[in-house]
Amino acid sequence: MVHHIHIAVLDVDIPARQLYEARGLCSAHFRAVLRETAARLNETLFSEKEQLDVKITPYDIRGGHYPDLYKLRGHTGPDQYPVAFPVDAVLITGGSPGVYEMDRSPWMQELKGFVRTVYAQYPQVRILGTCFGHQLISHAIVRNKEDTARDVWVEKCPLGREVGIHNVQLNKGFLDAFPAALGHLPDGKLRIQMFHGDRVMAVEKGTPVTVTESPPVSLPAPWINIGSTQICPIQGLYHPGRVLTVQGHYEMDAFGLTKMCLEAAPVMGWKESKLALFLEQVGDDLKEDQCDRKAFASAVVSFLAGFEQ
């Protein structure tokens, strides 16, 4: 039996030029890593009678290209048509915009509305986000102006950017959900490539937030913070059976991050010393992966297939 997983990947930005020329749009990066991960799991975890197949359909969000709602799994209504492979999941890619710019960004407002529609009306469709996608989903779904207990927002990180491989201390609730994929990580720490200067915050109302210290994270049930670093207390969000986001880039290796750094340096005004530091943290793109992106990708595919504990 083949378990088909159809993912609509929403491209929100263009990768660094040299990265695009080598590997295509972000949706192509996710196609490569998720199909490779599914093939690996087919060989190690499943028998020939039960196999995973991942299908990716890309959408140009800046161009207003979205999946038709009737193509989403679980759709009902007068406009229901036969669909061979309905969309099982929606994945929002990374990008350079800031979610706090939404008030003057029509395309971002449309994307927020689409995510809210999927979450509210299509419970069979899982939602994923990486980097910007993680932040957009947090703003669209977790943030609630009527919540009297907490405030949720996206901001520029006051302590600077995270670029290259960083250690994320994963939370037990998230580790316990994916023991086969993440249980082997030493001390529950995930080494993953980063490239961001924004972060999601969620704190109890009235809690003071200082530049040097982050207050305890407060999320409504059943949301789980997947893990944290010193300057970014929410490194991803997990809603069992519905949503999985991550701040880092499991779809990216040292080659990709190197190209991103080289293109970003003159645009962001990085001095040679800062660029050199970031490239050192990214690692050698000619050597084997020094991060745990394959482990996290295994958790993502397990989430998509419904193999959560």
Residue type, 140: A
The two three-digit tokens of residue 105, written as one number: 């960004």
Domain total in the chain: 1
What is d(CA 207, CA 10) in angstroms, rounded to the nearest whole number?
35
The pLDDT score that the predictor gives to residue 288 is: 76
Alpha carbon distance 46, 181 (integer Å): 14
The pLDDT score that the predictor gives to residue 230 is 92
Closest C-alpha to 194, from 127, 251, 265, 275: 251
Q: Report the share of the chain in percent with pLDDT over 90.
A: 87
Beta strands 237-239; 224-225: pairing state: antiparallel
Give all strands (DSSP E) within the chain, no chain letters: 2-11, 51-60, 89-92, 126-130, 150-156, 162-170, 189-196, 198-204, 224-225, 227-228, 237-239, 243-246
Higher-scoring residue by pLDDT: 207, 32: 32
pLDDT attached to residue 49: 66
**pLDDT(139) > 80:** yes
Indicate if the pLDDT at residue 2 is higher than 90.
no
pLDDT above 70 (res 68): yes
Q: What is the CATH number of the domain that holds 91?
A: 3.40.50.880
The pLDDT value given to residue 47 = 66
The stretch 116-141 carries a mean pLDDT of 98
| pTM for the full predicted model | 0.96
- Residues with Cβ < 8 Å from 96, sequence gap 6 or more? 13, 132
pLDDT digits (tens, 9 = 90+) for 76-96: 877 777 888 999 999 999 999
- Structure confidence at residue 208 (pLDDT): 83
Look up the domain containing 191 and give its range.
2-305
**Could you report the per-residue pLDDT of 184-234, keeping only the tens digit for each?**
999 999 999 999 999 999 999 988 887 777 889 999 999 999 999 999 999
Task: Please tell me the predicted confidence (pLDDT) of residue 286.
Answer: 75
Q: Model confidence over 157-171: pLDDT tens digits?
A: 999 999 999 999 999
Distance from CA of residue 3 to its chain's centroid? 23
Q: What is the pLDDT of residue 212?
A: 74
